[in-house]
Amino acid sequence: MKQNELIPQSNIWKVISASSVGTLIEWYDFFIFGSLSTIIASKFFPSANPTAALLSTLATFAAGFIVRPFGALVFGRLGDLIGRKYTFLLTLVLMGGSTFLIGCVPSYATIGAWAPFLVLILRLLQGLALGGEYGGAATYVAEHAPANRRGFYTSWIQTTATLGLLLSLVVILSIRRLVGVEEFTKGDGWRYPFLLSILLVGVSIVIRLKMHESPLFAKLKSEGKVSKNPLKESFGNKANFKMVLLALFGITMGQGVIWYTGQFYAQSFILTKCNVEYEQANTIILISLVLATPFFIIFGSLSDKIGRKNIMLVGMLLGVLFYRPLFDKIYTTCAPAHKTEVVAERQFSEKRALVKGSTTDSLITYDTTKVYSDGSHYKITKKVTIMGVVGVTAPPAEIKKEMIISTTDYWTLVFLVGTMLLFVTMVYGPVAAFLVELFPTKIRYTSMSLPYHIGNGIFGGLVPFVATLITTVKGTDHLSGLWYPIGVAALSLVIGVLYVSNKTTTED
């Protein structure tokens, strides 16, 4: 039976909106933790405490690398056993509850070691929920969509990861402005984006509760053909397992690194390597995301006509070829060395004060602001501690650099990041339809979730770690970290070109 015989077309938009809103909120929940990680670390994981530092490392690495794929297995299995609707309702409750509770946990200063422990547990639950959500939403939409329009309809689900990041940035920047930077970073202002989640999730749960089970799954269930053991049938059956491996190595591995590099590494690169001011950096990403988002739909729709493989592999190829030149252009656009300073406008100030809580140690703050001919401002703040007691070693000087770029440079960066996001939309727009079509209905949720989360969570999530690792090698520069996503995408590209067929449709 074909889906278009089952579903009135007017209902498909209800299905898409119910699924997309929930998935968007899950991404929002997952991303606000990442975006606020520096503040969260200062509140819950003080680096001076070894246990808290260890828990911080676990929260960063275990949530993405272990728990997400584990969530894919747990909820994928459940989704193939009891149905898509109730499973992705459960992941939504789990995600929303964990996010809200992170906003409620008292800080390390209040309850000590319980604070990082509780935040770690809640972060792991977030990872678990995310692992289960995506496959459910993609499967649910695909099983309602007509076979010849799956790419178009599932691409709405694909926009949610980007829109979730966009929403998280908008909420964070708005609340930061509303309560003030001081209250946001040092007070409780950072908690509001987490607390807000409960409202968003509440609305989404109400919408999802009104939806019906996927028609294809409902049919399987009525015929008694539901899988008895989805894990065994997905990974113990050679015919299916080889498709899981093909999906992972031929597509999702490369898609994951292209996605992560364009969407997240670019943001971190602009902030930390180019030292662009916080709000400028984030609004650059924000505008680029808004401009790029429609292309998820365009490429998803195009994949219905010319095939999923072609579009995704071209996206990978463009990333392989252009990531280094694009990142290099971003770097040179912001680098002070490539600008002409107006020396007469240079400002310098020096401020001396006692170190907080000390009667003998002094803190000297040197502020230098350089102005460039294109209108950019570069502020360097150096804080030096002078110990009052002889023989006591002073902590190393703190240096903070901040570049406020000119309007022209700002829009150049929007264009460059937007171009990278275009590659992201090419690899990510058609991927849900591709994965759904690779596997039969009865084990679809389980089979597609695992390669997706290994590709995005593990291969994608490793980008910052491996990038740092590469820069430890002698002779490397600020762009060397890109060899990891380029290498992985190139490998996936070769496997994809050789082994993946351009359009695979599984009719049930």
Residues that bind another protein (CB under 8 A): 47, 54, 57-58, 60-62, 65-66, 69, 238-239, 241-243, 245-246, 248-249, 437-438, 454, 458, 462, 465, 468-469, 472, 494-495, 498-499, 501, 504-506
Indicate the DSSP class of residue 472: T
Residue (242 or 346) nearer to another protein, CB = 242
CB of 505 to another protein, least distance (A): 7
Residue (59 or 200) nearer to another protein, CB = 59
Residue (66 or 384) nearer to another protein, CB = 66
Q: Angle at Cα 152 formed by Cα 150 and Cα 154, nearest 5°?
A: 65
Provide CB contacts within 8 A for 139, sequence distance 6+: 79, 84, 214, 436, 444, 445, 448
Residue (57 or 349) nearer to another protein, CB = 57
Runs of H (alpha helix) within 36-83: 37-44, 50-62, 68-81
CB of 500 to another protein, least distance (A): 8
Closest by CA position to 311, among listed 264, 251, 262, 242: 251
Residue (97 or 464) nearer to another protein, CB = 464
CB of 480 to another protein, least distance (A): 14
Residue (187 or 395) nearer to another protein, CB = 395
CB of 172 to another protein, least distance (A): 23
Q: Which residues pair with 362 in a beta bridge?
A: 354, 386
Q: What is the 3-state secondary structure (H, E, C) of 314-327?
A: HHHHHHHHHHHHHH
Q: How many Cβ atoms sit within 10 Å of the Cβ of residue 408? A: 12
Residue (221 or 273) nearer to another protein, CB = 273
**What is the four-CA torsion angle of 9, 15, 17, 22, rounded to 10 degrees?**
-170
DSSP secondary structure letters along 254-302:
HHHHHHHIIIIIHHHIIIIIS-B-HHHHHHHHHHHHHHHTHHHHHHHHH
CA–CA gap between residue 146 and residue 214 (Å, rounded): 13
CB of 244 to another protein, least distance (A): 8
């015989």: which residue's tokens?
Answer: 5
What residue type is assigned to position 145 of the chain? A
CB of 496 to another protein, least distance (A): 12
Residue (18 or 52) nearer to another protein, CB = 52
CB of 338 to another protein, least distance (A): 28
Provide CB contacts within 8 A for 304, sequence distance 6+: 148, 149, 150, 151, 152, 433
CB of 294 to another protein, least distance (A): 30
Q: How many Cβ atoms sit within 10 Å of the Cβ of residue 186? A: 13
Distance of CA 123 to the CA centre of its chain: 14
CB of 299 to another protein, least distance (A): 21
CB of 251 to another protein, least distance (A): 13
Residue (48 or 353) nearer to another protein, CB = 48
CB of 454 to another protein, least distance (A): 6
Closest by CA position to 266, among listed 59, 464, 486, 53: 464
Torsion over CA: 243, 247, 253, 256 (sign): negative
């992941």: which residue's tokens?
Answer: 91
Residue (192 or 484) nearer to another protein, CB = 484
CA–CA gap between residue 47 and residue 366 (Å, rounded): 26
CB of 10 to another protein, least distance (A): 31
Residue (62 or 380) nearer to another protein, CB = 62
E strand or H helix that includes residue 378: strand 377-386
Provide CB contacts within 8 A for 29, sequence distance 6+: 95, 96, 98, 99, 126, 197, 201
CA–CA gap between residue 465 and residue 256 (Å, rounded): 15
Residue (241 or 411) nearer to another protein, CB = 241
Residue (47 or 347) nearer to another protein, CB = 47
Indicate the DSSP class of residue 370: E
CB of 268 to another protein, least distance (A): 13
